[in-house]
Amino acid sequence: MDGAIRAFIAFLRAERRASPETLRGYTADLRQFHGFLLSHRLATIPVDPGVLSREAVRAYLQWLDRDGIRRSSLARKLASLRSFYRFLVRDGLVECDPTQDIRTPKQPKLLPRVLTKEEAAAVMTTSPDARPQSARDCALLETLYSTGARVSEVAALDLGDVRCSEGIVRLRGKGRKERLVPIGEVALRAIAEYLKQQPILLRTAGLSTGLRSPLFRNHRGGRLTTRSVARIVARHSSGLTGGPVSPHTLRHSFATHLLDEGADLRSIQEMLGHASLSTTQKYTHVTMDHLLAVYDKAHPRADPPARDPERKNSKVR
């Protein structure tokens, strides 16, 4: 099993050009499955992936479910196993796939949490001070909200990816696919102010700048990690009524606010880097809920109780 996992991760890195976050996720999921098999004595030692049964995979999923893991995480871990076994079957390392007839757990239909424009503005309003980190945080938040980029895409930004004169930024998405996305003037001004102060940080760390050097750096001068970006967003959004948000909430808010202002769905799809338009269409549901709420509150002949009960009771995360 150890050798099979290493071969699969090497395949993802070399042929699929998977991101470091994707590689870490697959490795953690497969190591957890391996550890479960050993601790519950459901396989020989060492574990041979070619002789595992569907019952062993089902037992693993049941164990995760009893442990209280979310359905979305359960589905992701099963997807990791499926990808792993598809690779092993394709390369002739195993003959049968024990995940083949196992259904993905049904997912609850949850609408993404979306900030109001006032809440988004409050998150963007950072407390200015003389520290380079303060200007960096402001530029980081503005870039996330202005481009709708994924957290991994913003963390991977280099200085040369921001084209200030053209008002665009180059993002590297899933599968290392690149796309050009507009970036607003407010975000560009925040980045320019941050870059003015960045030499202070770089001199402290003994580093130099270049077009291929990281745009957003930590206090040691290295590239910010996705976890660090998430912590910064959570810290600056901790005062919101609904509690702190994630970088992905800013991405959801970016798309929904564009749609509210009349942007077409296809353009939003291109900016978000979605391969399928159906992925982007979830934002129309968020906007429709907002429109219905406004209508029910403002129209003299609105009849809120007559609304679809499933929509009324829909959860927002």
Q: What is the pLDDT of residue 247?
A: 95
Nearest to 115 by CA among 237, 285, 291, 271: 237
pLDDT at 98 over 90: yes
Same domain (yes/no): 154, 86: no
Asked whether residue 95 is assigned to any structural domain, the reply reads: no
CATH of the domain at 176: 1.10.443.10
Give the residue carrying structure tokens 């901790």. 238
Is residue 240 one of the residues assigned to a domain?
yes
pTM: 0.69
pLDDT tens digits, residue range 111-166?
A: 788 999 999 999 998 665 556 688 899 999 999 999 999 999 999 999 899 998 88
pLDDT band at 200 (very low <50, low <70, confident <90, very high): low
Short-list 167, 168, 171, CA closest to 158: 171
pLDDT value at position 222?
A: 85
| Same domain flag for 70 and 143 | no
Q: How high is the pLDDT of residue 288?
A: 72
What's the mean per-residue pLDDT of the chain? 84
Q: Of 34, 77, 150, 172, which one is the catalytic site residue?
A: 150
Does residue 274 carry a catalytic annotation?
A: yes
If asked whether residues 123 and 257 sit together in one domain, one would say yes
Q: Is residue 13 scored above 60 in pLDDT?
A: yes
Does a structural domain hold residue 99?
no
Res. 212 pLDDT band, cuts 50 70 90: confident
- What's the pLDDT at 43? 65
Contact in structure between 158 and 169 (CB atoms under 8 Å): no
User: Is 316 a member of any domain?
Assistant: no
77 in the same domain as 149: no
The last residue of one of the domains, among 55, 90, 125, is 90
Domain ranges, residue 146: 117-275
Residue 45's SS3 state is coil
Say if residues 21 and 12 touch (Cβ distance below 8 Å).
no
Same domain, 269 and 129: yes
Domain count, the chain: 2
Question: Quick one: 64 and 134 in the same domain?
Answer: no
Ranking 18-22, 142-146, 311-315 by mean pLDDT, the lowest is: 311-315
Find the CATH number of the domain harbouring 71.
1.10.150.130
Please indicate, yes or no, whether residues 124 and 49 belong to a single structural domain of this protein.
no
Q: Tokens 């200085």: give the residue.
A: 159
- The contacts of residue 8 (CB under 8 Å, 6+ apart) are 26, 30, 83, 84, 87, 88
Question: What's the pLDDT score for residue 317?
Answer: 36
**66 in a structural domain:** yes
Q: Is 285 a catalytic residue?
A: no
Active site residue 251: yes
Strand, coil or helix: 249: helix
Residue 115: alpha-carbon gap to chain centroid = 17
Q: Are residues 258 and 147 in the same domain?
A: yes
The beta strand positions in the chain, using DSSP E, are 162-163, 168-172, 178-182
Residues 46 and 171 in one domain: no
Judge whether 97 lies within some domain: no
CA-CA-CA-CA dihedral for 20, 103, 91, 52, to nearest 10: 100
| Domain-located, residue 208 | yes
Quick one: what percent of the chain has pLDDT higher than 70? 85
Residue at 56: amino acid letter: A
| 247 prior amide bond cis, ω within 30 | no
pLDDT at position 206: 47
Active site residue 150: yes
CA distances from 124 to 69, 136, 146, 218, 313 (A): 33, 12, 11, 19, 31
Q: Is-catalytic flag, 131?
A: no
Highest-confidence range of 188-192, 202-206, 309-313, by mean pLDDT? 188-192
Residue of 54, 248, 285, 290 with catalytic role? 248
Stated as kind and residue range, the H or E segment containing 215 is: none
Query: Of these residues, 54, 113, 174, 290, which one is catalytic?
Result: 174
Residues 111, 249 contacting (CB under 8 angstroms): no
Confidence at residue 205, expressed as pLDDT on a 0 to 100 scale: 47
The side-by-side arrangement of strands in the sheet containing 178-182 is 162-163, 168-172, 178-182
- Structure tokens that stand for 279 in this block: 């992925």
Question: Does residue 206 share a domain with residue 255?
Answer: yes
> Do the domain assignments include residue 81?
yes
- Catalytically annotated residue among 54, 179, 223, 274: 274
Pairing of strands 178-182, 168-172: antiparallel
DSSP for 130-178 reads: S-HHHHHHHHHHHHHHHH---HHHHHT-BGGGEETTTTEEEEE-GGG-E
Is residue 121 domain-shared with residue 84, that is, in the same domain? no
- Asked whether residue 127 falls in the same domain as residue 270, the answer is yes
pLDDT at position 131, please?
Answer: 66
Band the pLDDT of 9: cuts 50, 70, 90.
very high
Would the pLDDT of 314 be above 60? no
The 10s digit of each residue's pLDDT in 174-191 is: 777 889 999 999 999 999
pLDDT tens for each residue of 37-77? 888 876 666 778 888 889 999 999 999 999 888 888 999 99
Given a contact cutoff of 8 angstroms between Cβ atoms, the answer to whether 113 and 249 are in contact is yes
